Structure 1
């Protein structure tokens, strides 16, 4: 079996969506002839932990967890002291490109040891954090191994990152070095691939799109829901750009006007930062962060699943990792996003739900239509399973293994 040195800062027991892509690749790569050798960090760097995810790590997988002085490990203490903004400032101003840079440097002895012991044929790095790619750049220069760099999100063009004056240009230069030095670039959507290609400054590094997906082991096909309430479920978090304001306004208006009785509708939200965005009153139910293994049961008792995205054109390349699990869960999706977003395109292609803009009036109309269909026990949902199955994690991992095989010479 061939071996790949797999650099993944976010790895179980880390929880949240950032861990899923790496974890599922590692789960299915051995069946395709590739043994991952994992370089990650220690658990104290993870503000959200989900130990249940460790069941997907193949037995015997070598895992190196180099200890380091890590800015991210300070986050819980700063948050407890209500100094979250100070932590963010330290992370931005003094840790380039991000708080994991000290980990990336401290990991070098572990990398040397792993290469000496396991003799990998390929190096794979995934971001964020982007420091993982700087570790990959060092490995490429030091050992000359073929290198695949995976971008789960944009880097210098990431709108969620507040760069002080001049810092975006610094990150752009680091990004360009990675793009020009890697042997193959992988990312999650065509718009992000195009953005990365435009940043290459004349280099011709191949770029492949391998989107996120769903694991059939995690999302069994659910039977149509029979619920005592019209139940809409959201899993994930909100941000300053991904806001549920229009949804809250629409639902509140429907309930206050009596168009939907308060005891006949429930919005269930499972995530880590809901209080800043969601009222603490019916029909809103906030569950906080749930382990990934509990989400399927939550979807089982849902009439619809909710997707909320940043509506700006700069976000058109973001699918949202949860979308693929939503599609596999066999529930209609209410997607509040830009109509030109790749997620909106996929929902239309798969007939997986309905896409609306961040317009309370439009959202009200759609919710009322679905509520009446639910009342009549006539919520129709016939997605295109042939398209959805293309996003299964085993199939997507096979595409990554093909890239590894090409770089390793067959």
Structure 2
């Protein structure tokens, strides 16, 4: 079995979203004859930079790895990948989890951005392959346009992250006595917040006058006093349930048992190209999605084109109420196309990633 040294700032032992994703990658690539050896780069980044290089070099030599795979951001992980690949004389797979330079969260004039630009250039010019996952905030031709002197064959977009089919199929389904609408995940002040959903929900309640035991809107994740005040102001507190975050394997039955799951994506144009991982959990649950997001965003188009749910602009609370009515009354027809779920499965991405590793490990450009 071949080995790939994964250089990342994620510790697989810590749990959480990114740890779970890399742990799944490790397990699924092993099923495809690739052993993922983790080179964890701890913080603080600057102080421990020399230590991280020596650590990854030691792991790479001791485990006799075949390929170096550095995953950023942060951008210094690519610099470590470059040094380790050069010293060990091994193929180097650069992977962007987010855009390194043209990132909505990065000040384009900041000193660190200028350093990131130099590291990106070094990575693009010296790596054997540059890949990124479909769904990050980067146009397909961005790197090819930015680096016209580099062969376009070096750049390759991996499939969407997707969902782990077996995990969802084997999980139980929570049984609810009432119609249940679920939001699972974080909120971000001024960007992703539940106010429009709550207002649309209150309009639906006012128009349909359901009994308390007939309808529930539940939230798993962070919940603030301001959100609760809005609930009470709207007079829908008897329909609202809130819970803390739960582990991933515990939220799956909740999503599967819900009648509607909610995605809130806002309308900030900086997020137009993003398709967040929450969508794959919702898709894996095979539960209709109420997407409160700018309809021009890529995630909205994915949901609509695949018949996964109903998309409503955040500004239109009346339409949110109407969408709830349509989905509860079963007027919306959820997709029955099995090929959609095959295309967006985690297994599909791991198949392609394994092929990529095979290709660069044998110096055979697959793309």
- The answer, yes or no, to whether TM exceeds 0.5 is yes
Whether contact under 8 Å (1:335, 1:353) holds in the other structure is yes
- 1:62 matched to which residue of 2? none
Secondary structure at the aligned position of 1:324 is classed as: helix
- 1:390 matched to which residue of 2? 343
Whether contact under 8 Å (2:256, 2:286) holds in the other structure is no
- 2:97 matched to which residue of 1? 152
- Aligned mate of 2:220, from 270, 287, 292: 270
Matched, 1:179 2:124: yes
**Superposed counterparts of 1:56-75, under 5 Å:** 70-71=43-44
Whether contact under 8 Å (2:204, 2:322) holds in the other structure is no
Whether contact under 8 Å (1:126, 1:132) holds in the other structure is yes
Matched, 1:405 2:358: yes
Specify whether residues 179 and 208 from structure 1 end up closer, same or farther in structure 2 by C-alpha distance, changes over 3 A only. same
| Deviation, structure 1 residue 347 | 1.7
Specify whether residues 101 and 137 from structure 1 end up closer, same or farther in structure 2 by C-alpha distance, changes over 3 A only. farther
Secondary structure at the aligned position of 1:307 is classed as: strand
Secondary structure at the aligned position of 1:132 is classed as: helix
- Aligned mate of 1:319, from 241, 260, 275: 275
Matched, 1:244 2:194: yes
Specify whether residues 317 and 18 from structure 1 end up closer, same or farther in structure 2 by C-alpha distance, changes over 3 A only. farther
Secondary structure at the aligned position of 2:31 is classed as: helix
- 2:314 matched to which residue of 1? 358
Matched, 1:253 2:198: no
- 1:93 matched to which residue of 2? none
Structure 1 unaligned residues grouped into runs of 5+: 42-67, 72-99
Matched, 1:120 2:77: no
CA distance in structure 1 between the partners assigned to 2:173 and 2:167 by the alignment: 18
Whether contact under 8 Å (1:122, 1:147) holds in the other structure is yes
| Deviation, structure 1 residue 266 | 2.1
Whether contact under 8 Å (1:104, 1:134) holds in the other structure is no
**Superposed counterparts of 1:25-174, under 5 Å:** 25-41=25-41, 70-71=43-44, 100-161=45-106, 165-174=110-119
| TM-score, normalised relative to structure 1 | 0.76
| TM-score, normalised relative to structure 2 | 0.84
- 1:44 matched to which residue of 2? none
- 1:77 matched to which residue of 2? none
CA displacement 1:205-243 (0-9 Å, x = unmatched): 322223111112321178998643221112221224333
Specify whether residues 115 and 224 from structure 1 end up closer, same or farther in structure 2 by C-alpha distance, changes over 3 A only. closer
Specify whether residues 101 and 312 from structure 1 end up closer, same or farther in structure 2 by C-alpha distance, changes over 3 A only. same
CA distance in structure 1 between the partners assigned to 2:105 and 2:198 by the alignment: 22
CA distance in structure 1 between the partners assigned to 2:228 and 2:13 by the alignment: 31
Secondary structure at the aligned position of 1:266 is classed as: strand
Count of matched residue positions in the alignment of Structure 1 and Structure 2? 349
Specify whether residues 187 and 21 from structure 1 end up closer, same or farther in structure 2 by C-alpha distance, changes over 3 A only. farther
CA distance in structure 1 between the partners assigned to 2:253 and 2:174 by the alignment: 11
Specify whether residues 276 and 5 from structure 1 end up closer, same or farther in structure 2 by C-alpha distance, changes over 3 A only. farther
CA displacement 1:268-308 (0-9 Å, x = unmatched): 2222x332773265233221221111011211331111111
- Aligned mate of 1:212, from 128, 153, 161: 161
| Deviation, structure 1 residue 21 | 3.4
Larger RCO (alpha carbons 8 Å, 6+ apart): 2
- 2:234 matched to which residue of 1? none
CA displacement 1:329-360 (0-9 Å, x = unmatched): 11111112232323223222321111221122
Matched, 1:10 2:10: yes
CA distance in structure 2 between the partners assigned to 1:210 and 1:311 by the alignment: 25
Give the CA RMSD over aligned residues: 2.8
Structure 2 unaligned residues grouped into runs of 5+: 232-236
CA distance in structure 2 between the partners assigned to 1:143 and 1:118 by the alignment: 12
